Structure 1
Amino acid sequence: MPDPTTAPVAGEPDYDHLLRANLTRVFNERDPARRAAALDDLFVTEPVMFEPTGLVRGKAAIAAVAGRLLEQFGPAFRFVPEGQGVGHHGLGTLRWTAGPEGGPVTVTGADAAEIVDGRIARLWVLLDPPRT
């Protein structure tokens, strides 16, 4: 008989799919209209993103942050998921690397997300310390 204290919670979202889609469809998307559509698909109505240097509220503000990152780092810059996104009880994480496509990795980190009704409600962007 299964141990009820370790049984998976029914109705868990697909953490890997949501967090990978966030990287691909939001933070790697250069077309503003497609990025906005992805935010509508993946995020709750009023999401909050926690960055190391500040707080970002709302889909439009998150879209603007993603667009500025892509402009700042150039046309070949990409976020690449590492491993599989995991989670339970509404909290998911996915590690990633970023840098020019085919070039050296310039930053690494992880996203942690609170998932509510199958959508990202809060997103924490966790940056690793710079490599020395």
Structure 2
Amino acid sequence: MSETVYAAQPAPEPDYDHLLRANLERVFNERDADRRAAALDELYVVEPVMFEPTNVVEGRSAISMVAGNLLEQFGPTFRFKPVGTAVGHHGLGSMQWQAGPDGGPIVVSGADVADVVDGRIARLWVLLNHPEA
């Protein structure tokens, strides 16, 4: 009798576009701290890490604080908006974005690059584009 060997099927890829758009909208555009915390619980692993150009932020509550401070700092109509569709494979996703006041100029642009584990963001790198001259 011969033995049949089956290769393990890789886990299905997460929907990177849905996950990273939800992160922008429900975490970084959310002004209500309780709704932002609920989104972080859903979208991030228990102990996430976010890497900013000049800071390393550890934990959901610290990421929530950073998001809230950004929104407060830049005013009541400041928003992050995705540019195009997020792409990813094998647990790494990337989404381009831009931000500024509604109807106003783009103040900052960049990309989020996420290490995704079991469909949730484990580590997030925030990459900022150089300002245009």
Structure 2 unaligned runs (5+)? 1-9
Q: Note the C-alpha offset of 1:73.
A: 0.1
TM (norm. structure 2) is: 0.92
User: Structure 1 CA distance, aligned partners of 2:74 and 2:93?
Assistant: 27
Q: Note the C-alpha offset of 1:58.
A: 0.1
User: Structure 1 CA distance, aligned partners of 2:88 and 2:11?
Assistant: 13
Q: Quote the residue 1:78 is aligned against.
A: 79
Q: Quote the residue 2:35 is aligned against.
A: 34
Q: Quote the residue 2:97 is aligned against.
A: 96
- Of structures 1 and 2, the larger Rg is shown by 2
- One-letter amino acid of the counterpart of residue 20, structure 1: R
Q: Quote the residue 1:124 is aligned against.
A: 125
Q: Note the C-alpha offset of 1:10.
A: 4.7
Identity of aligned residues (%): 71
Q: Note the C-alpha offset of 1:56.
A: 0.1
User: Structure 1 CA distance, aligned partners of 2:122 and 2:43?
Assistant: 9
Structure 1 unaligned runs (5+)? 1-8
> The residue matched to 1:37 in structure 2 has which SS?
helix
User: Structure 2 CA distance, aligned partners of 1:74 and 1:83?
Assistant: 25
Q: Quote the residue 2:110 is aligned against.
A: 109
- One-letter amino acid of the counterpart of residue 64, structure 2: A
Q: Note the C-alpha offset of 1:43.
A: 0.1
> The residue matched to 1:22 in structure 2 has which SS?
helix
Count of residues paired in the alignment: 124
User: Structure 2 CA distance, aligned partners of 1:75 and 1:52?
Assistant: 24
User: Structure 2 CA distance, aligned partners of 1:13 and 1:65?
Assistant: 26
Q: Cα RMSD (Å) of the superposition?
A: 0.7
1:40-70 per-position Cα deviation (integer Å, ceiling 9, x unaligned): 0000000000000110000000000000000
User: Structure 2 CA distance, aligned partners of 1:31 and 1:22?
Assistant: 14
Q: Quote the residue 1:4 is aligned against.
A: none
